[in-house]
Amino acid sequence: MSLAQAKIVTDSLRGIAEVELVVVRTTGDRLSAAGSPIEWKGDFTRELDEALLDGRIDFAVHSMKDVPSQVPDGLRLAAVPVREDPRDVLVARPRRSFDDLPRGARVGTSSPRRKAQLLAARPDLEVIEARGNVDTRITRLSEGRFDAIVLARAGLSRLGRLDEISEVLEPELVLPAIGQGALAIYARRDDRATLALLESLDDSASHRAAEAERSLLATLEAGCQAPVAGLARVNNGSVTLSAGVFSPDGSKALREESAGPASEAASIGRETGRKLLGRGAAALIEAASS
């Protein structure tokens, strides 16, 4: 979670309650700053969970896509604010669309999910590692290390850098990561006062979408290195979940879509996950982790 994301939440609460912003640097923050791979989603949440459970903080703000599917004992997902646009985007130099990238173009991403889907659409591309924060990746793009990079639109939005985008990639081409664009606010399960305070930040549609996507992830038992994607949309009391599991090289792709009442979002996520497992998703996930 970035400091900017935390400030979005604390600023929303000012005038309702007195809020102190406490910065907790996580293992994931340190690994990301060093350009090292993240092997476990909990690297971004463990220190914050500990600070919550021992009472040093009253609630924690995470990027939803960095949160493990299992909630630690004693904690609760208290609120999911209105979700940002969850789609991925292409940033290219010179500016051009995905289809217009030359054959053999070097596309940078650190995400196995993105790599698999990019190669599924364009096997001719050279998809290479691009680590570091957004500023670092864009700088390296400008230096000519890549012809294009793929990033989350939400991240560019929070940094005020939407003008960098060459093309927004639709989910039919690249399905987003589970929870991408959403924030997750956690509090202690027994802290009624804080839970009541955070209710004002919760957006029902975003929360239901998160439930569907996280239930899908838990059913698939996929780690952060697995090429798994999912996007839930809530409209007029219904939720539609699109999900995909891919081979690392993009040569195999399993996609499923399920829909139903938003009140049954978690069940729809489990149902979609079971459909994918029935079609061989476990083998693709295992191939990615081996």
Active-site annotation holds for 54:
no
State the total domains in the chain: 3
Average pLDDT over residues 22-40: 59
The pLDDT tens digits of the residues spanning 229-277 come to 999 999 999 999 999 999 999 999 999 999 999 999 999 999 999 999 9
Alpha helices by DSSP H, the chain:
3-13, 27-33, 46-53, 112-121, 134-142, 153-158, 192-198, 204-220, 265-278, 281-289
Average pLDDT over residues 76-99: 97
Task: Report the alpha-carbon distance of residue 261 to residue 73 in Å, rounded.
Answer: 28
Q: Are residues 42 and 156 in the same domain?
A: no
Q: Are residues 195 and 209 in the same domain?
A: no
**Which CATH number covers residue 285?**
3.30.160.40
Q: Are residues 77 and 188 in the same domain?
A: yes
- Whether 176 is in a domain gets the answer no
C-beta of residue 66 within 8 angstroms of C-beta of residue 28? yes
Select from 52, 9, 5, 8 the least CA-distant residue to 29: 5
Q: Are residues 164 and 189 in the same domain?
A: no
Burial class (CB in 10 A: 0-12, 13-18, 19+), 183: buried
Q: Are residues 68 and 194 in the same domain?
A: yes
Q: Which of 20-34, 68-82, 92-106, 172-186 shows the lowest mean pLDDT across its residues? A: 20-34
**Which CATH number covers residue 37?**
3.40.190.10
N-term to C-term CA, the chain = 28
Which residue among 66, 88, 147, 191 is the active-site one? Answer: 66
- Whether 92 is in a domain gets the answer yes
Q: What crossing angle do the helices spanning 265-278 and 204-220 adopt, rounded to 10°?
A: 30
> What confidence tier does 77 reach under pLDDT thresholds 50, 70, 90?
very high
Domain that holds residue 140: 88-169
Handedness of CA 37, 8, 76, 270 (dihedral sign): negative
| pTM flag (> 0.75) | yes
Q: Which of 63-67, 82-86, 139-143, 188-192 shows the lowest mean pLDDT across its residues? A: 63-67
Q: Are residues 211 and 68 in the same domain?
A: no
